[in-house]
Amino acid sequence: MEIIIGKLAGFCGGINSAVSKTEKLLVDKEKIYCLGELTHNKQVMEKLEKSGLIVIEKLEDIENNTEVIFRAHGMPKNAYDEAKKRNIKVYDFTCPRVLALHEQIEKESKKGKYIFLLGEEGHPEIVGTMGFADKNNLFLLQTINDVENAIKDLLASKRTELYILSQTTFSLRKFDEIVEKIIQKLEKKGIDIEINNSICEATELRQKETEKISQIVDYMIIIGGKNSSNTRKLYEISEKNCKNAIHIETKDELKNIDFSNYKKIGIMAGASTPKSSIAGVKEYLNELT
């Protein structure tokens, strides 16, 4: 059995930084609050919570004059305003890529441009990013089927400038498909279109590597949180290229699978998956040979 592990599998820079900084804080503090899950990985969160991390859902859950971590996915602008008003010290561990997204959408929105934001409704990054834009001139597109309604809203607004950007972990394939349709539909409509492919480079490269590996293996294993958007994208890519694909969080989910007939097994992991989870899966597969 040959095992092929993606070179980009596991923690991205933003998640690695957020987790490392949180671990350092917990060395000197018995507890510290985190607004939302720091990262979408059950095993990582359980470890941090055992060390004193307390996840809260809203700032109202903590008292004034205390401390809180802002998760790697980012928070809306009003969260910063509320923390400042209540004298709550913020450790901002938002991914730098997401912070750049916040700055860009706020800048373009203030210029009066209509914003098309491509992403997953309800995802923490999207919730945070939308909080930096004028919601009256903003449309969230999740799939290519949203293009028609988005364009109707744009034309009804009488705005002539359109700015397109996306969630940093959005599917590159979906981004290209949606943008192509938008351009086709707005041809000769007198709309000035600016496109910002704000998908994180690491996300983009990880998706491309997953595509390559899943095309040459008999079985594809994707490791990462079931609530991780970027991990689900990797699984979707794998499903299209390999008839045997599975999305797991830990090696325990592989125990009922017979791998004896598979010669090549591919492994890829999401941006919030620790190296220990990847190593555990590899070790388990090696023990079968």
Catalytic site positions: 125
Is the CB of residue 126 less than 8 Å from the CB of residue 167?
A: yes
For 161, phi and psi rounded to 5 degrees? Answer: -120, 125
Neighbouring-strand partners of residue 219 = 265
Cα first-last separation, the chain? 7
Q: Tell which residue, 92, 98, 148, has the closest CA to residue 123.
A: 98
Look-up of token digits 């994208």: 233
- Alpha helices in the chain, H assignment, sequence order: 13-28, 42-50, 77-85, 96-110, 124-130, 147-157, 172-185, 201-214, 229-241, 275-288
> What is the number of residues in the chain?
289
User: What kind and span of H or E run contains 243?
Assistant: none
| AA identity, residue 43 | Q
Q: What span, in angstroms and rounded, lies between the C-alpha atoms of 111 and 167?
A: 21
**Rg, Å, the chain Cα set:** 21
Classify 152 as helix, strand or coil. helix
Tokens of 242: 């390999």
| AA identity, residue 220 | M
DSSP secondary-structure letter at 211?
Answer: H
